Amino acid sequence: MTFSNQVPVAGMGCLCACGNTVANAFNGVLNADAHFVLPTGRVTSTYTNKYPVFLVPPREYKDKPADMTFSQFFFIEAAKQAFAQTGISPQQLDSKRVGVIIGASVHPSFHCFPIYRHWKEGKLSTQDIAELKKYLATPLAQWVSNYFHFEGPFQTVVTACASGTDAIGLAKNWIETGLCDAVLCGGTDEITESPYDGFIRLLVSTPQRCRPFCKTRQGINIGEGAAALLLTNQKTAQQLKLPCQGYVLGYGNACDGFHPTAPDPQGIGLQKALSFALKESGVQLQDIAFINAHGTASQANDSAESIAFNTILPHIPVWGSKGATGHTLGAAGAIEAVLSLQALNKRLLPATVGFTTPDEKLKLIPTIQHTAIEKRYAVSDSLAFGGCNAAIVLGASDVA
């Protein structure tokens, strides 16, 4: 099967609680091995109850420059991995139109929380003002573009927890429309006080490890990390003899605007996003190996997703990867895309970590054991605050 709209992924990188490379992260998912701890030293919270999170291990950022945020550092490390996988340096793209699209949630929205606190306390310093001006003058995608000396367009996508998926989908569009020859895309986010306290205040955090789609699920564990993918057009891939890690075949986005934080109970927006992505991809349902679900393990999210899957993608295996990685917020869709491509290329679908007991109300049982797969396509979806929904269809490296 061939597609006229296939956009190849030349390289990809990942850094999260499960591992410091794509291969290590996928092995961490398979072994349910992750850095799942209390955010001591990284987050100060006045809540009596403390909630563990999925953190990037401290050894992975011991060399972080002082003038880099965690989100910036995570993405740069993932991007370096992506370029290493391609076998070329960023400088070898100097003659190409290279764009940058990065999805994030915490970094663009809540990174200045300490400055805000100082202002509220009447302790705003000249250093705070300088940091704020620097932050406002250099959005994340622009900063990354400058870091690699790219001269193409750049965009920071902030659609909350759908940001990473939207970034990949928009990067595909930039390639297809001829705006760019290559696009460095993905997502990155870090754990700070604002999302940590915010999810607790929303009453959706759990002190136990999350259990996607399980009857006994009690809520979300937030996480952090980054994933980067280098997408190119076919001409650039051939000219530079780039390897292929897979393909982005379809993208769909829809906003139902149901509630500021809760999904539409019937998953109406998600159903539309899935339908758009499937139509654009040209992939038939019988050829899809699995869905990498948003699967946060909250009551409302898992219920809405189950309805959407049973309506649009019936009888297709569902994998909830957040049981292994946690909910990495704006980075989630990108990390899940990388893990999905890895699963397709390894021909191995992981079990959903944490799932033990079917919930008869959901009419959905996710993967309960590691399973060999032969089908070469997958769907990855994301839901977010504000009613944002996004989905992408991915193909394995051997589908062309």
Q: How many CB atoms lie within 10 A of CB 84?
A: 13
In this structure, is residue 201 part of a structural domain?
yes
In this structure, is residue 2 part of a structural domain?
no
In this structure, is residue 46 part of a structural domain?
yes
Task: Give the active site residue among 112, 185, 327, 388.
Answer: 327
Q: How confident is the model at residue 4 (pLDDT cuts 50, 70, 90)?
A: low
Q: Are 76 and 144 in contact (CB under 8 A)?
A: yes
Task: Give the active site residue among 35, 107, 111, 294.
Answer: 294
Quick one: 118 exposed, middle or buried, by C-beta within 10 A (0-12, 13-18, 19+)?
Answer: middle
Tens-place pLDDT, residues 157-197: 999 999 999 999 999 999 999 999 999 999 999 998 889 99
Contacts of 359 (CB under 8 A, 6+ apart): 213, 214, 215, 217, 302
The parent domain of residue 174 ranges over 7-395
Q: Provide the token pair at 216.
A: 């006994």
Active site residue 161: yes
Q: Are 244 and 8 in contact (CB under 8 A)?
A: yes
Q: Please tell me the total count of domains within the chain.
A: 1
Tens-place pLDDT, residues 233-253: 999 999 999 999 999 999 999
Q: How many whole angstroms separate alpha carbon 167 and alpha carbon 187?
A: 7
In this structure, is residue 202 part of a structural domain?
yes
Q: Are 272 and 389 in contact (CB under 8 A)?
A: yes
In this structure, is residue 1 part of a structural domain?
no
Whether residue 3 is predicted with pLDDT greater than 50 in this model: the reply is: no
Tens-place pLDDT, residues 376-398: 999 999 999 999 999 999 999 99
Beta strands in 29-153 (DSSP E): 36-37, 53-54, 98-103
Active site residue 118: no
H/E stretch holding 182: strand 182-189
CATH number, domain with residue 279: 3.40.47.10
Whether residue 137 is predicted with pLDDT greater than 80 in this model: the reply is: no
In this structure, is residue 400 part of a structural domain?
no
Q: Are 226 and 77 in contact (CB under 8 A)?
A: yes
Q: Provide the token pair at 159.
A: 């659609």
Active site residue 327: yes
Q: Provide the token pair at 183.
A: 């696009």
In this structure, is residue 384 part of a structural domain?
yes
In this structure, is residue 48 part of a structural domain?
yes
Task: Give the active site residue among 18, 161, 185, 388.
Answer: 161
Mean pLDDT in residue range 207-230: 97
H/E stretch holding 225: strand 225-232
